[in-house]
A and B are shown apart, each in its own frame.
Chain A
């Protein structure tokens, strides 16, 4: 989304915008499809930046303030780009009493970041989830979209450590 304004219309060069436009068309460009549209943008770009919010506001003819209001109300939407890797620690009840808060604490000790933050080198984003519904596998951690159950602090730190020390990635 680093591109300058405009290249988002129907004939956009970026295929991601064409997919977003398709989603908007599917819902008939109705103002009430705002949440669905933001989902489409986030699915293709990973986050919602100011440009995207403005474009959605104009296309759906919804005030920008309302788009911003919705984007910040729901936890699922993020206004910041995420790091190269993401680690989501579930904080549902079963995971919590299974020691998930200690996992977060130790990650913080090792990397200095809290949920919602990204390391300075942009390698790791740490997130926490309300409940992933995989309570029987508690505690659950999701590494780059892969769900891993019955996690220990050691296993999580090892996985994160391998990401952080990996210099070959660009």
Chain B
């Protein structure tokens, strides 16, 4: 069953009318964070209360994706007043309804004039916290699948790729490879079979951007994949998603079913010759599967071990066919780029890093949650403005970007912009967008040890530098953290890290040394304190032979 533009417009209009009929609309955040604090019970309570008051359709309660400020969850938003209520409990339902149209409830109000809400610029998250992720109609009512229509009916595949190239969009999975170049490379393949793969194996600890996008606005990713498939000439797509994200998987599957039923996925989409189907494949808890050749191996049902490149997946990917692999956030950027044009996107951000970036803000910061800011926003602004600073009057120590492949950036670089080049210059990487803020209660040796333990146990074991190197570096770091280190260890560490960087097979081993090298570079004194004075100023490490206090 295919669909016409008129029908799509009708669906949008009916939905918009339905929404404008309600005098009040209460949006309950039902992304994983707020859900685990019981936001589903709040939604039930509100609905029951409305039913018992016989209000009918005048007040609409809807499930929405992430409202962003996870620290204050469970969050709800009341429109048209544009009020946020934080820390809501089911028994607040009556009071919330009483306050509609009158003075806001003081005890629950969450100020919305704070930089957290005002400094953000939403492109990827434009529908997040606005639409019900389990209803395709709400996505359509917000110009959903319009970009796909535009691409299929008024653009050639080459024009679509040109638009993506003009936008300057770079891969949001970590390395920042220009999306337009990747698309061009896959499109040149002459193979009849090609694939589009969405990488949703968000393995970085401390990162939850992709989870939020999938939970809050899954159709955006499907639309991005369909446009990509048209541009490169693929008919089949896979979404490789972590099994640890059950809610995201559930919503993705619902979205795919709805899209197929509506005719925006499947055969002859928008009455063209373009066919496209999407399947979901579950990961099973292996960090290395974020690497593209390991991911391919895992989709094929095998152990997720990487292989040497070339050949690159764009010529030899899934089952040997040309394959385009893009991250969730990269694909989520595609519909607005096609809708508004590449030039529009290129105006946001810096010269080399275009657009916005979604970051997961966590650790020792007031406003933990999901944020989206233009590329090039200063680190200081993200932590102290949007993030609201460090809680408990403690002092900022470092910001960790890029997870186990990234580094720790100290205070003196707070005024650097967040973009691919600046972070690389500081010995870290953009990574997928997890930002962990640390204060003086975190020990840098311990953090380096934490990440090395991670890489050691996630190493697939195929190549020696990574398998043996991570274990050896971890042993040295454990010794230092345990007060058994020697000064010569520091030299050995640098040497080993350099060796892993130069000779490992895949990104995991090549970047595993970044947390160690960056902390050694910026916080060498802490290492020396541990070795020479057997002292951990943050009070995290327990030195051998010294009694624990607790």
Show the binding face of A for B, using Cβ within 8 Å: 30-36, 38-39, 62, 66, 69-70, 73-77, 91-94, 96-98, 129-138, 140, 146-149
Docked complex: B194-217 residues within 8 A CB-CB of A: 202-208, 211
- Chain A residues contacting B301 (CB-CB under 8 Å) are 30-36, 62, 70
Any A CB within 8 A of the CB of B352: no
- Chain A residues contacting B299 (CB-CB under 8 Å) are 32
Q: What would 5 A/B residue contacts be, using CB atoms closer than 8 Å?
A: A35-B298, A38-B284, A74-B285, A93-B451, A131-B203
Any A CB within 8 A of the CB of B360: yes
- Chain A residues contacting B285 (CB-CB under 8 Å) are 74-77, 130
A81 to chain B, nearest CB (A): 18
One of B29-37, B373-381, B491-499, B520-528 at the interface? B29-37
One of B164-172, B434-442, B471-479 at the interface? B434-442
Docked complex: B426-478 residues within 8 A CB-CB of A: 434, 436, 438, 441-442, 447, 450-451, 454, 460
Additional A-B contact list (18), CB under 8 Å, known A74-B283, A133-B207, A135-B368? A39-B243, A66-B302, A70-B302, A70-B303, A76-B243, A76-B283, A93-B400, A94-B205, A131-B204, A131-B207, A132-B244, A135-B206, A135-B436, A136-B33, A136-B71, A136-B368, A140-B36, A147-B35
The answer to whether B208 and A74 touch across the interface, beta carbons within 8 angstroms, is no
B526 to chain A, nearest CB (A): 15
Alpha-carbon distance A62/B303, docked complex (angstroms): 13
Size of the chain B interface, CB-CB below 8 angstroms: 52
Show the binding face of B for A, using Cβ within 8 Å: 32-33, 35-37, 70-71, 73, 202-208, 211, 243-245, 281-287, 298-304, 360-364, 368-369, 400, 403, 434, 436, 438, 441-442, 447, 450-451, 454, 460
A134 to chain B, nearest CB (A): 5
The answer to whether B360 and A69 touch across the interface, beta carbons within 8 angstroms, is no
The answer to whether B36 and A134 touch across the interface, beta carbons within 8 angstroms, is yes
- Chain B residues contacting A146 (CB-CB under 8 Å) are 36
Contact flag A130-B203 (CB < 8 Å), given A73-B304, A75-B286: yes
Contact of A149 among B36, B204, B207, B245 (CB under 8 A): B36
The answer to whether B362 and A94 touch across the interface, beta carbons within 8 angstroms, is yes
The answer to whether A133 and B245 touch across the interface, beta carbons within 8 angstroms, is yes
The answer to whether B244 and A149 touch across the interface, beta carbons within 8 angstroms, is no
Contact flag A93-B434 (CB < 8 Å), given A134-B208, A137-B70, A138-B362: yes
The answer to whether B298 and A129 touch across the interface, beta carbons within 8 angstroms, is no
The answer to whether B286 and A73 touch across the interface, beta carbons within 8 angstroms, is yes
A64 to chain B, nearest CB (A): 14
Contact flag A137-B36 (CB < 8 Å), given A76-B285, A93-B363, A94-B206: yes
- Chain A residues contacting B304 (CB-CB under 8 Å) are 73-74
The answer to whether A76 and B32 touch across the interface, beta carbons within 8 angstroms, is no
The answer to whether A133 and B211 touch across the interface, beta carbons within 8 angstroms, is yes
B261 to chain A, nearest CB (A): 18
The answer to whether B282 and A39 touch across the interface, beta carbons within 8 angstroms, is yes
The answer to whether B206 and A131 touch across the interface, beta carbons within 8 angstroms, is yes
- Chain B residues contacting A140 (CB-CB under 8 Å) are 36
Contact flag A92-B205 (CB < 8 Å), given A32-B301, A76-B243: yes
Contact flag A137-B203 (CB < 8 Å), given A69-B303, A73-B304, A76-B243: no
The answer to whether A91 and B205 touch across the interface, beta carbons within 8 angstroms, is yes
Alpha-carbon distance A131/B70, docked complex (angstroms): 16
Q: Which residue of B lies closest to A135 (CB)?
A: B362
Alpha-carbon distance A35/B442, docked complex (angstroms): 38
- Chain B residues contacting A32 (CB-CB under 8 Å) are 299-301
Contact flag A147-B36 (CB < 8 Å), given A39-B243, A130-B287: yes
The answer to whether A97 and B438 touch across the interface, beta carbons within 8 angstroms, is yes
The answer to whether A131 and B284 touch across the interface, beta carbons within 8 angstroms, is no
Alpha-carbon distance A77/B33, docked complex (angstroms): 25
A75 to chain B, nearest CB (A): 4
Q: Which residue of B lies closest to A149 (CB)?
A: B36
Q: Which residue of B lies closest to A142 (CB)?
A: B36
- Chain B residues contacting A62 (CB-CB under 8 Å) are 301
Alpha-carbon distance A31/B299, docked complex (angstroms): 11
Q: Which of B36, B301, B450 has the most CB of A within 10 A?
A: B301
A20 to chain B, nearest CB (A): 15
